[in-house]
Amino acid sequence: MVHLPRIERLYQKYGNQFLDKVLTLPEKMFCTSPVSLKVKVARIGGRIAAKEAVVKSLAMGVSTLGHAQGAYWKDVELLRQERQAPHLKLHQKAADKAATLGIEDWLISLSHDGDYAIATVIGLKPLRLTREDIEIPSF
């Protein structure tokens, strides 16, 4: 969960310097497209919430927040196509950790309410069944 007034203060104080630390170029382009400041802040906040949810689900934290083995903000990228649900693309440490855990896909939900943005993520592993896993009824 991200408090949007805090994101707005950081964005207004540091501008592109702040965005360059936390967003990839495609994310930055989407968030700063010609929309109101309120929409920009909501987009930035949603992406930060999603990145935080992913690194927490991978049990690694964010490196720039004091987790030495953590991922960097840009290791998690939230991409969006017009009129489609957002999807995640992982890089470097986050991608390595997801691969180690066997996570190959993600479900993501972003929500905004008042001063807050929140994200929920679920990492998906492929279902691999063996003959022993399947009960075959006898006739």
Fold of 2-126: Ribosomal Protein L22; Chain A (3.90.470)
**Angstrom distances, CA of residue 1 to CA of 70, 104, 112, 137:** 19, 24, 9, 48
pLDDT at residue number 73:
95
Q: From CA 112, how far away is CA 17, in angstroms rounded?
A: 24
**Sequential DSSP letters for 2-19:** EEHHHHHHHHHHHTHHHH
pLDDT at residue number 28:
96
Q: Is residue 119 a contact partner of residue 110, using CB atoms and an 8 Å limit?
A: yes
pLDDT at residue number 66:
57
pLDDT at residue number 132:
73
What is the pLDDT tens value at each position of the chain, 139 positions in all?
999 999 999 999 999 999 999 999 999 999 999 999 999 999 999 999 999 999 999 999 887 765 678 899 999 999 987 788 889 999 999 999 999 999 999 999 999 999 999 999 999 999 877 777 777 776 7
Angle between helices 4-14 and 37-57 (to 10 degrees): 110
pLDDT at residue number 128:
79
